């Protein structure tokens, strides 16, 4: 084994408190001391650690970084997998109760903030047309900026509430059998004009026939909207974003690919961290609080899948979300996302709301909404 990985690496990994495994060809070649304490001695294959769908995702993934669920003696954990080179590295994320507690607190704050924001939005809807009748360009710009800020804050409060629900175990889905190709086609039809307003093109690639699966369509759309928003914010004008669906039989893959800035290895390693401060400099409002990708992963996990991200600086980013096609329709009602509760009550275009972080200010001029 020492010929496959450096002995110095083994000594470093044994100092780490989190479980780390090295694998070649699906076989475990090394477990650090932390991994030895939470795994069976006879567990020498990745199939002993990965659920079937996660194992399939690992096998079909291109070299890069992805997030998978790993099953250890103390339960299921999230793990960062770096695939490629002479061996693959599986670094298990420790379970942290503090994350759930923080989200629980933030969910309560989000509800209170959303209540006041909704009141502000309703009031502004009546005031903005009166202000814009003055035909003062400065006033029109300020009202559009205010309107966009309301949308962004409403979206953030919805993300916080949804993430808290998933972490607390309340984010159950209402699974209905439907055609994923039709779902993506409908979303593409609604989102394309908004993407064009940012100077970008949204392409759609679908298989020839229907791809049926039991999914929570509303939650799935939220995940795709988050991926589109990320792609739009980091793709220069003139760029192309591609939304595609591939049928693998037991699973379907939904991919959002862009030809934008891409991410550095350091950014890739932190992309699923909650509240990650990625802001590179004051005034760059493309950077948020880091809830989008964790939320996408939670929704993918809810659908029996995971998320794979491949990115290279200057070469764009590709994010693939896998969806199990073996899930059964559910009987009970779903816990409604605050975002779609807003849509149901009227007054909100859910596509504008979900993409508000990436849209130009002109979209929020009340004359154009």
* Reported pTM: 0.68
CA-CA distances (angstroms) from residue 322 to 66, 147, 205, 213, 354?
12, 35, 16, 12, 21
Token pair belonging to 204: 């759609």
Q: Output the six-digit token pair for 216.
A: 């929570």
* d(C-alpha 7, C-alpha 57), whole Å: 30
Per-residue pLDDT of the chain (369 residues; tens, 9 = 90+): 444 566 778 888 888 888 899 998 889 999 998 888 888 888 889 888 887 777 888 888 888 888 788 888 866 777 888 888 888 999 887 655 445 445 556 666 666 676 667 677 666 666 766 666 667 777 777 777 887 887 888 888 777 777 766 665 666 778 899 999 999 999 999 999 999 999 999 999 999 999 999 999 989 999 999 999 999 999 999 999 999 999 998 889 999 999 998 887 777 766 766 544 444 443 445 555 567 788 888 888 888 888 888 888 888 999 999 888 888 887 755 555 555 555 544 456 888 888 888 888 888 775 444
CB count within 10 Å of CB 39 equals: 22
Q: Which helix (H) or strand (E) holds 21?
A: strand 20-24
| Closest CA relative to residue 13, chosen from 33, 27, 29, 28 | 33
């Amino acid at each position: 084994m020492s010929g496959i990985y450096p002995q110095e690496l083994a000594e470093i990994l044994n100092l780490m408190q989190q479980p780390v495994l090295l694998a070649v060809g699906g076989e475990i070649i090394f477990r650090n001391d932390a991994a030895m304490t939470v795994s069976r001695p006879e567990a020498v294959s990745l199939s002993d650690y990965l659920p079937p769908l996660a194992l399939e995702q690992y096998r079909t993934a291109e070299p890069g970084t992805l997030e998978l669920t790993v099953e250890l003696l103390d339960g299921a954990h999230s793990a960062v997998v770096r695939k490629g080179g002479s061996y693959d590295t599986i670094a298990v994320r420790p379970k942290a109760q503090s994350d759930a507690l923080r989200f629980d607190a933030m969910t309560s704050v989000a509800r209170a903030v959303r209540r006041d924001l909704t009141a502000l939005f309703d009031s502004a809807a009546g005031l903005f047309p009166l202000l814009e009748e003055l035909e003062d360009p400065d006033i029109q710009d300020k009202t559009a900026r205010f309107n966009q800020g309301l949308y962004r804050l409403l979206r953030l409060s919805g993300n916080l509430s949804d993430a808290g629900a998933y972490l607390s175990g309340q984010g159950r889905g209402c699974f209905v059998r439907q055609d994923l190709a039709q779902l993506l086609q409908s979303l593409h039809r609604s989102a394309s004009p908004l993407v064009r307003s940012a100077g970008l093109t949204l392409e759609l690639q679908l298989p020839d026939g229907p791809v049926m699966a039991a999914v929570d369509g509303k939650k799935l759309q939220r995940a795709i909207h988050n991926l589109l928003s990320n792609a739009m914010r980091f793709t220069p004008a003139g760029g192309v974003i591609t939304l595609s669906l591939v049928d693998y039989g037991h699973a379907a893959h939904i991919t959002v690919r862009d030809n934008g800035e891409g991410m550095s290895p350091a950014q890739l390693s932190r992309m699923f961290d909650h509240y990650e401060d990625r802001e590179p400099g004051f005034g760059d409002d493309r950077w948020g609080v880091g809830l989008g990708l964790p939320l996408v992963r939670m929704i993918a996990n809810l659908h029996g899948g995971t998320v794979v991200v491949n990115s290279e600086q200057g070469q764009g980013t590709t994010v693939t979300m896998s969806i199990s096609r073996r899930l059964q329709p559910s009987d009970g009602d779903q816990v409604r996302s605050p975002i779609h509760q807003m849509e149901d009550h009227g007054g909100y275009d859910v596509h504008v709301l979900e993409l508000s972080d990436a849209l130009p200010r002109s979209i929020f001029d009340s004359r154009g909404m």
